[in-house]
Amino acid sequence: MNQIVVVGTSHHIAPLDFRERLSFSESELTEAFQLLREHPDVQEATILSTCNRVEVYAVTHGKNGCATLSDFLSTYHQIEPQQLGKFTYSHQNLDVIRHIFEVTASLDSMIVGEPQILGQVKEAYTQSLAAGATGDILNRLLTKAISVGKRVRTETNIAAGAVSISYAAVELAKRIFQSLEDKTVAIIGAGEMSELTAKHLVKNNVSQVIVANRTYQRAVDIAKKFSGIPLTYDADLSFLVEADIVISSTDAPHYLIHRHSLAEIMKKRKYRYMFLIDIAVPRDIDPEASKVDNAFLYNIDDLEAVVVSNLKDRHQEAEIAEQIVTEEVAKFQSQLQVFEVNPTIKALHQQFQQVASKELGICLDKAQLTPKQQKMVEAMTQSIIKKLLHQPTKHLRGVALNPDLTGAVNDSNDEHVKCVRALQELFDLENTRDRNLRG
């Protein structure tokens, strides 16, 4: 019998160096898919490999699907089974469905609501399709998982609000300025955080970037990334007159911008709004500078408060997303149950058709019927088949639409499995046996 399984690791349980060892490069995926397809117990497979997670999904034959995938990962990456078991998890059947739905809904991500994972799952599915590694079951599962991820983003605000310092700075800038399209950004210093913040501002269509640094070459290097203007830092701060957004991140031991100096700059600007982001520790901008008219000053703690507030909102939205996932798991399980019984239903109908055709052929050869009479007999035969199979078909699909959602499905408590097997044995439907997902 078949089962859906997943074996993987993620940021939840494994350090970065282990995730790196278990990851698959794009060039390795082709070989990995080939090895999985050649395994006698693996019928379908897909691999999701990102910086935060590595997961192998498969439809396998028999009850040892998780062990099969663990052996594959251990052998392929040359990792001792004991170490692999320490930093990996595994799921079967219903638990796999819930897990992949939570992944695409970004409920299992390091940052709840992050948008990248949905695209990464799409890419993983595309790659496994191209390799011919998926089949009916994983095609349905992954397509549905992507749909669930989209639904969560449409019906909740799980992705709303900045959850990083750099994004928070952009969010605050948008609150101050209706549009960033005609705004100039000035970067004081060349810290990584200020560069990242400037990058996000550029993505939001600011018109110009000025980079001022004590080391001119460093200013040149940063400015190139934004097609910006490099300057040697000057204590008179005259370059700030044209700046609407100021990002300061230096290692200076004292304030670079004081209240009186900013007041002079704002006067020259005719008091047009200025948004100042002080990311430096210790701070570069005197807190008193916030008292200058139309100057809006935020430090690292202010930005972190925005992030914390947004994360709280996201976690509240995550509760709604979990309800959506639970609902979609139930729907998909029902659809999958019906999908599983269809081969048996089809085989049963085919067997009845074959028997009827054979016997009808013998009858028509012996009887002298007119074409009209022959059509009547054939129609009657089809009507008898339809009526004989109507109730068994209806019953089988009916029990399939009422799955046990308490956990992984098993043979002892699943009525539709018993019905399928009874039909297979009663009518000797060998070609459909072991095609249903069970473990």
237 alpha carbon, distance to own chain's centre: 46
Among 51, 66, 363, 419, the active-site one is 51
Identify the bridge partners of residue 78 per DSSP, sorted by sequence position.
none
Using CA atoms, how far apart are residues 276 and 255, in angstroms rounded to an integer?
A: 14
Q: Provide the token pair at 114.
A: 């992050």
Q: Count of alpha carbons within 13 Å of 274, Cβ hemisphere only?
A: 26
CB-CB contact of 108 with 116 (8 Å): no
Q: Are 397 and 328 contacting, i.e. CB atoms less than 8 angstroms apart?
A: no
How many residues make up the chain in this entry?
439
Tokens of 46: 């897909």
Cβ neighbours for 313, distance < 8 A, ≥ 6 positions apart: 157, 160, 161
Residue 407 Ramachandran class (φ > 0 left, ψ -120 to 50 alpha, else beta): left
Give the angle 174-177-183 at the CA atoms, nearest 5°.
100
Respond yes or no: is residue 51 known to be catalytic. Answer: yes
Long-range contacts of 200-203 (CB under 8 A, 24+ apart): 200/166, 200/167, 200/169, 200/170, 201/169, 201/170, 201/173, 201/245, 202/226
Cβ pair 228, 242 in contact under 8 A: no
Q: Which two tokens stand for residue 133?
A: 């590694």
User: What are the catalytic residues?
Assistant: 51
